[in-house]
Amino acid sequence: MIASQLIFALSFVPFLATAAPVTVPTSSEESHVLSRRGFGYNGVTTATSTAWYTDNFSKGPSTPASGYQCYHGDVSKYPTKDKWMNFYDLFNHNKPAMLARNNGNGDLVGKIWNAIVKVSQDAKVDARVILATVMQESTGQANVPCTGTMPNCGLMQASYGSISFNPADPQGSITETIREGVQGTNSGGPYGGGGPGLVQFLNNALSWVTNPWPGNPYAAARIYNSGHISNNNLDDLTGSEWSTKSYANDIANRLLGWDGSGAGFAAC
């Protein structure tokens, strides 16, 4: 069981699942961020189903699956949670890529760990799902540029109203960008507005989009990328051709340990 205030105040993360966690109070900079922003699109902050959530970071395989797996169709074709790597090993498996994208700055990678752990506990969204989305959207680059016209900013390239990394407030801004991608943002940010995150899609809590599989992370990933699910098929982009066809498939493979290399979905 992970303590509710678990924050790793380290410049690295442990490479062994048996490493003893360090428990310290929430940082003052993160408290400052939380006090100045309203999180949770439409006031929703927590996933209502925990069927795909665990706070046991040691649960799951320790080694990646062999090669990129091809999934097509509805969620029944996708891997079950017991196939996902455990969070400790999955994070460390992705750590070299994150270090490369952050110019070798292990302190920033440690702050990404802190943020994922904290937001996972608050939102009841599995830390591995959050990590997979971070890697899919930004490869863990803390100062990743915003994209699109809305725009979408931060480690999870979150919805309208999201913010970017602030070097004067590293832990606070990293936590905020991840929180916005998971719980959405109700208002504020440099661009105003607000938008949903994974929690809202998991909960099927939006009038303008229907998730036929509430609580399922693969369905939520499809909506996170394209705004809807077409024909109960997670790689059908009807009506959202600007989206990434492989998105849900990539998230599934990242949960199994794929590091983004090779042909990926293009070979399916």
Count of domains forming the chain: 1
Per-residue tokens: 148: 């699109």
Contact status, residue 221 vs residue 251, Cβ threshold 8 Å: yes
Query: In this structure, is residue 40 part of a structural domain?
Result: no
% of the chain at pLDDT higher than 90:
72
**If you search the block for the tokens 């994208």, which residue do you land on?**
101
Per-residue tokens: 31: 């408290």
pLDDT(15) > 80: no
Name which residue leads in pLDDT, 253 or 10. Answer: 253
Q: 19-23, 106-110, 202-206, 232-236 — which is least confidently predicted? A: 19-23
Name which residue leads in pLDDT, 236 or 7. Answer: 236
**Domain assignment of residue 132, given as a range:** 79-195+242-257
pLDDT band for position 211 (cuts 50, 70, 90): very high
* Cis preceding linkage at 170, omega within 30: no
Query: In this structure, is residue 129 part of a structural domain?
Result: yes
- Please tell me what DSSP assigns to residue 156: T
Query: In this structure, is residue 16 part of a structural domain?
Result: no
Query: In this structure, is residue 216 part of a structural domain?
Result: no
Tens of pLDDT, residues 135-191: 999 999 999 999 987 788 999 999 877 889 999 999 999 999 999 999 998 766 555
Give the three-state DSSP class for 23.
Answer: strand
Tens of pLDDT, residues 50-63: 999 999 999 999 99
Query: In this structure, is residue 182 part of a structural domain?
Result: yes
Query: In this structure, is residue 105 part of a structural domain?
Result: yes
Query: In this structure, is residue 35 part of a structural domain?
Result: no
Burial of residue 231 (CB within 10 Å: 0-12, 13-18, 19+) is exposed
Query: In this structure, is residue 31 part of a structural domain?
Result: no
